[in-house]
Structure 1
């Protein structure tokens, strides 16, 4: 059976309400925008999303968020999305903020079949001790807080140090963007657009990849492949991605 889907809509057709999604991208760099747009065109809701952030108000996952399609987000920061912040503070959205490196490793470990790992990141803070607001109540009080996590001390070359136990992450589906893909799902990412895409792809039980350029199997140099096709279930050719600027900064014209 071919891994190539006829369209973005066909590729995401079996994603249902309540599904969990691991979504690649960082800000607006390397986001699977065509797949997100295809999801937005369908009447599905109560999605649980794992992603570094949630796009912006008008692009990427921000489209699903603005339409109240997302119930819960595991992310490392709010970013340039004012609606993300508003929904979180208003108690309309459950958010698990996670240190960025920890989030990356939780996805990688999930894809590698590792159930949990110890890390020093977050020790001595509410990340390990618990109490981070996951969901606020309408009156601004904390309705759901993060639980405390196991902390252990290990020795090593730098002496004894405390580490917190973090559980890995997996999702029903992964949505990722790649520069080049072949018909067997082998993917090549473009520079910084690589970011969370390989990690999200590994963590999804079903991985759907949109690619700007699709080539026949065997055309890619094996040494250039960033993610092998064993992790990818569907490929859809979307053409060159339109690049959006997350935060435009310009300099004043120097006086003459």
Structure 2
């Protein structure tokens, strides 16, 4: 039941070419920077993983995190709500060059598609996007006099998320807004890898405070001094 692993390399060992990765974070809040950068390190050393599909709220910022993955040529497709950010250079350059695909999803729809994936609901209807280009080619139906668009679930091979506390059995808590998409992603992925600020013994977290049950977590690595995306941006750090 002990789901802790010794280092980032061990946590990421099974990620392979062509996989779909859900990566937690809302901007910098809850972004698992150390997991992302360790995956970039592995790509630089081995050439793998590549041809990845990334599911996130945005398409990265500056030259760190997801943007650095895009810069490195690891990402074939982004599924996100906000491809533009304060510094969207990495995604914009690849997209204009035809080197990366974009599936644009309204933010609430993105969250619900991920939730549906974790709940085993293959499709649902929402009025969001009806009558827009985002609805083209999707089934539509009328309910109680209003038109709705069918959206499909989103699932992933792997979820990379950041937690505040984790016990060794995988029960998680999050710090404030860092919670965002992470609990949904943990449930919707075949393998959930967590970087936690602190790992404690089972029973040390009040069960009433657990947000993600250990059932949805496979690996935990403790990163006590985790970096924050905004701080790296202000410092002008480039990981690409």
Query: Normalised by the size of structure 2, how large is the TM-score?
Result: 0.91
The whole-number CA distance in structure 2 between the counterparts of 1:21 and 1:213 is 24
- Aligned pair 1:176/2:161, yes or no? yes
8 A Cα contact 2:31 2:229, kept in partner: no
- Partner-residue secondary structure (3-state), 2:78: strand
Measured against aligned partners, the alpha-carbon deviations of 1:108-167 in whole angstroms (never above 9, x if no partner) come to 110111111101110011111x2xxxxxxxxxxxxxxxxx10010001xxxx21110000
- Residues of 2 paired with 1:162 and 1:241: CA distance? 45
What RMSD in Å do the two structures reach over aligned CA positions?
A: 1.3
| CA distance in 1 between partners of 2:26 and 2:142 (Å) | 33
Task: State the Cα deviation string for residues 79-112 of structure 1 (Å, max 9, x = none).
Answer: 2321111211221100101000000000011011
Question: Which residue pairs with 2:57 in the alignment?
Answer: 52
Q: Give yes or no for contact 1:208–1:235 (8 Å, CA) kept in 2.
A: yes
Partner of 1:62: 67
Which residue, 89, 100, 104 being the options, matches 2:96?
A: 89
Gaps of 5+ in 1: 131-147, 249-256
Aligned to 1:143: none
Query: Hey, what's the Cα distance between the residues in 2 that align with 1:176 and 1:242?
Result: 14
2:108 pairs with 1:119: no
**How far 1:62 moved relative to its partner?**
1.1
**Structure 1 residue 186 corresponds to structure 2 residue 175:** no
Structure 2 unmatched ranges of 5 or more: 235-240
1:244 Cα deviation from its structure 2 partner: 3.2
Match of 2:15 in 1: 15
Asked if the contact 2:162/2:182 (under 8 Å) is kept, the reply is yes
- Distance in structure 1 (CA, Å) of the matches to 2:207 and 2:116: 24
Query: Greater RCO between the two (CA within 8 Å, min separation 6)?
Result: 2
Across the two proteins, how many residue pairs are aligned to each other?
Answer: 226
Question: For 1:95-110, what aligned pairs fall within 5 Å after superposition?
Answer: 95-110=102-117
Taking the aligned partners of 1:54 and 1:62, their CA distance within structure 2 comes to 7
How far off its partner does 1:2 sit?
2.3
Higher fraction of helix: 2
Q: C-alpha separation between the residues in 2 aligned to 1:228 and 1:68?
A: 34
Q: TM-score, normalised by structure 1?
A: 0.85
Q: Distance in 2 between matches of 1:205 and 1:40?
A: 21
Shift, 1:54, TM fit: 2.5
The runs of 4+ residues in structure 1 deviating greater than 4 Å are none
CA–CA distance in structure 2, aligned partners of residues 184 and 163 of structure 1: 41
Contact kept, 8 Å, 1:28 with 1:59, in 2: the verdict is no
Instruction: Determine which structure has more spread, i.e. the larger CA radius of gyration.
Output: 1
Residue 26 of structure 2 corresponds to 26
Determine the structure 2 residue equivalent to 1:75.
Answer: 80
Query: Comparing 219-228 with 235-244, which one deviates more in the overlay?
Result: 235-244
Deviation at 1:243, TM superposition (A): 2.3
Task: Give the CA deviation at 1:7.
Answer: 0.6
